[in-house]
Chain A
Amino acid sequence: MMAPERMQSYREMAKKVRAHCLRMTHRGKSGHVGSMLSMADLLAVLYLGILRVNPKQPRWPDRDRFVLSKGHGGAAVYAVLAETGFFPKEWLDTYYLDNGKLSGHISHHVPGVEFSTGSLGHGLPVAVGMALAARQAGKKHRVFCLLSDGDCNEGSTWEAIAFAAQHHFDNLTVIVDYNRVQALGKMEDVIEMEPFARKLEDFRWAVQEIDGHDYVQIETALNHLPFVPGKPSWLLARTTKGKGVSWMENTVACHYGAVNDEQLAKALKELEVEQ
């Protein structure tokens, strides 16, 4: 059984991350908040329960590598890094602003960020290279890469998928924030990936499909890596875009739209965050 306190800490962290993302995108009048809310639970479990990282030593050589390929959701990672002590929380107030510390897409100039992305399809090849180097050097750290649905449209992602399987990189785990809503439409109307799990199995990855908002399922899956020795692991985490804010959930509009003053107050109230 999962310790109730740990479950509670995930819930609290995810709530803080969601609140930060709403405030940051509101202040910056910037987009992608739906993508951030979608992966908040995954990030909470990763940073509190799974990743071996050290906020006092962000470049600790034996750290697990976490590459966010969906760089447009970077504010959610900034939020979890600030909450876990990688940099002062005040930096979050400067997101997207002139002379700000934090850019709209994730940047390696920020402590705790492994790699900068923003254009989709870049994260996985780089993560594969990191897994290659770790294995060649006999290192025990692991490499994680978080992808979006849009990432899985990119040919470069599939090139890397094929290569990672060919070389049996079982130190590599992909997590897909599978919310099924892209920039211009829902996946079934853009590029349908189903049967998604079977595609990856055919590409010789070990696949698990879970509810990406269920802390027990997320933690259990990520505590049993690799899923199959000798294969890279693919965690298809079914999520809801805009999760936690009723009028955003499962909408295409929340990919770009930020909240106004009134909506911010309403959204924070729905999340049960003190204002």
Chain B
Amino acid sequence: MRKVFNTELLSIAQRDPRIFMILADIGYGEIEPFAQAFPDRYFNCGVAEQAMTGIACGVAMEGNIAITYSIANFPTLRCLEQIRNDVCYHNANVKIVIIGGGMAYGPLGISHHSTEDLAIMRALPNLVVVAPCDFAEARAAVHAMIAHEGPVYYRCGYKKEPAVHDGPIDFRFGKALTVRDGRDATIIFTGTIGYNCKLAAEQLAADGVQCRLISLHTVKPIDKDAILHAAKETGAIVTVEEHNAMGGMGGAVAEVLMDAGGLGVRTRRLALPDVNVCKVGSQDWLREQYGLGVPHIVKAVKELLAG
């Protein structure tokens, strides 16, 4: 997915001279085409994420679009105050891009995982929080990110994420996408864990349970209508995210339902337990280990419907 991101960004930057990449010495093998095409719009700050974010903000304050880009939690948590005070408070046109959302860098360990980002980023005013699930969403989200005036947090995947959407998509920030329709229950996901949700929905369909499958690619601003319709029309909602159970997408969906009075809907959150992920393995293996495998999703829906 990171290749999709960089290819798309490069093509937009050919037409839009406002786009700068402000990096912190990460992006080997991916960012070189941009650096070569636009040497006066490409700056490597060295391993210095606070300066990267502050400098990007200064660049953006002058009418440009500045993109910060690094691995997992490097461009968010290390420089969170720069994102809060500099970028979000000034509504600066900075796009914060992470590569390897969730546990995509699996065996590299917790220092290279991003599993608290949705909770923390969505608590910041002015910030759009987006997590594409596949290449189609990733491509569309780059265009939406550049078109949006103001800060965006873009949680990119890593390498060869399989497709979740079968056909063309009408991607807009704040507008969830229905991957497949159903009336028995709804599975809402965000990000690349969507593929496991898709496999689970197919398995459930084979077992006679028709699930509505929703990609909530924009965690903020959240698509309240999609959630409320799902609640009223299917009566059961399971949320799935590759993120700590605290405050993430599932929490955001719960907030919408609570504000609407609860609606009597049956709910279940699937997320990472509130522990430090210390097992060693690939993203797929870690998902299985920490309760986000296809069988976990199938089981959660069945248990919810069994009441």
**Do A and B originate from a single complex?**
yes
Interface, chain A (partner B; CB < 8 A): 108, 115-119, 121-122, 124-134, 136-137, 155-156, 159-160, 162-163, 167
Q: Closest approach, in angstroms, between the C-beta of B2 and any C-beta of chain A?
A: 25
Q: Are A136 and B55 in contact (CB under 8 A)?
A: no
Q: Closest approach, in angstroms, between the C-beta of B213 and any C-beta of chain A?
A: 42
Which residues in B have their C-beta under 8 angstroms from that of A128?
51, 54-55, 58
Which of B40-48, B156-164, B235-243 faces chain A? B40-48
Q: Closest approach, in angstroms, between the C-beta of A188 and any C-beta of chain B?
A: 27
B146 interface residue per 8 A CB criterion: no
Determine the residue in chain B with the shortest Cβ distance to A107: B89
Determine the residue in chain B with the shortest Cβ distance to A160: B51
Determine the residue in chain A with the shortest Cβ distance to B40: A136
B64 interface residue per 8 A CB criterion: yes
Q: Closest approach, in angstroms, between the C-beta of A144 and any C-beta of chain B?
A: 13
Contacting A156 at CB < 8 Å: which of B22, B54, B56? Answer: B54
Q: Closest approach, in angstroms, between the C-beta of A36 and any C-beta of chain B?
A: 21
Q: Are A163 and B85 in contact (CB under 8 A)?
A: no
Asked, given contacts A126-B61, A133-B62, A136-B40, whether A160 binds B90 with beta carbons under 8 Å apart, the answer is no
B76 interface residue per 8 A CB criterion: no
Which residues in A have their C-beta under 8 angstroms from that of B96?
none
Q: Are A122 and B85 in contact (CB under 8 A)?
A: yes
Q: Are B48 and A163 in contact (CB under 8 A)?
A: yes
Once the chains are docked, how many angstroms separate the CA of A162 from the CA of B64? Answer: 23
Q: Is the interface of B mostly helix, strand, loop or mixed?
A: helix
B82 interface residue per 8 A CB criterion: yes
Contacting A163 at CB < 8 Å: which of B51, B59, B64, B81? Answer: B51
Contacting B41 at CB < 8 Å: which of A115, A116, A118, A136? Answer: A136
Q: Are B50 and A129 in contact (CB under 8 A)?
A: no
Which residues in A have their C-beta under 8 angstroms from that of B134?
none
The listed residue with most B CB atoms (<10 A of its CB), out of A118, A126, A159, is A126
Asked, given contacts A108-B90, A136-B40, A162-B46, whether A125 binds B54 with beta carbons under 8 Å apart, the answer is yes
Q: Are B51 and A130 in contact (CB under 8 A)?
A: no
B86 interface residue per 8 A CB criterion: yes
Asked, given contacts A129-B59, A159-B46, A160-B51, whether A115 binds B81 with beta carbons under 8 Å apart, the answer is no
B66 interface residue per 8 A CB criterion: yes
B129 interface residue per 8 A CB criterion: no
* Given contact pairs A130-B59, A131-B58, a sample of 13 additional A-B residue pairs in the complex whose CB atoms are under 8 Å apart: A117-B85, A119-B85, A125-B58, A133-B64, A136-B20, A136-B40, A136-B41, A155-B50, A159-B50, A159-B51, A160-B55, A162-B46, A163-B48
Once the chains are docked, how many angstroms separate the CA of A135 from the CA of B224? Answer: 44
Which residues in A have their C-beta under 8 angstroms from that of B59?
129-130, 132-133
Q: Are A163 and B46 in contact (CB under 8 A)?
A: yes
Asked, given contacts A116-B85, A125-B54, whether A134 binds B62 with beta carbons under 8 Å apart, the answer is yes
Once the chains are docked, how many angstroms separate the CA of A106 from the CA of B59? Answer: 20
Q: Are B51 and A156 in contact (CB under 8 A)?
A: yes
Q: Closest approach, in angstroms, between the C-beta of B307 and any C-beta of chain A?
A: 50
- 20 inter-chain pairs at a CB distance below 8 angstroms, sorted by A residue, are A115-B86, A116-B85, A117-B85, A122-B81, A124-B54, A126-B55, A129-B22, A129-B56, A129-B59, A129-B66, A132-B43, A133-B58, A133-B59, A133-B63, A137-B62, A156-B50, A156-B82, A159-B45, A159-B48, A163-B45
Contacting A129 at CB < 8 Å: which of B48, B61, B63, B89? Answer: B61
Which residues in A have their C-beta under 8 angstroms from that of B60?
129
Q: Which of B56-95 contact A (CB under 8 A)?
A: 56-64, 66, 81-82, 85-86, 89-90
B218 interface residue per 8 A CB criterion: no
B53 interface residue per 8 A CB criterion: yes
Which residues in B have their C-beta under 8 angstroms from that of A167?
43
Which residues in B have their C-beta under 8 angstroms from that of A134?
62
Once the chains are docked, how many angstroms separate the CA of A271 from the CA of B43? Answer: 48
Once the chains are docked, how many angstroms separate the CA of A133 from the CA of B51? Answer: 15
Q: Are A125 and B51 in contact (CB under 8 A)?
A: yes
Which residues in B have their C-beta under 8 angstroms from that of A127?
58
Q: Closest approach, in angstroms, between the C-beta of A69 and any C-beta of chain B?
A: 10
Which residues in B have their C-beta under 8 angstroms from that of A118?
85
Determine the residue in chain B with the shortest Cβ distance to A167: B43
Q: Are A116 and B43 in contact (CB under 8 A)?
A: no
Q: Closest approach, in angstroms, between the C-beta of A123 and any C-beta of chain B?
A: 8
Which residues in B have their C-beta under 8 angstroms from that of A159?
45-46, 48, 50-51
Asked, given contacts A108-B90, A130-B62, whether A121 binds B50 with beta carbons under 8 Å apart, the answer is yes
Determine the residue in chain A with the shortest Cβ distance to B24: A159
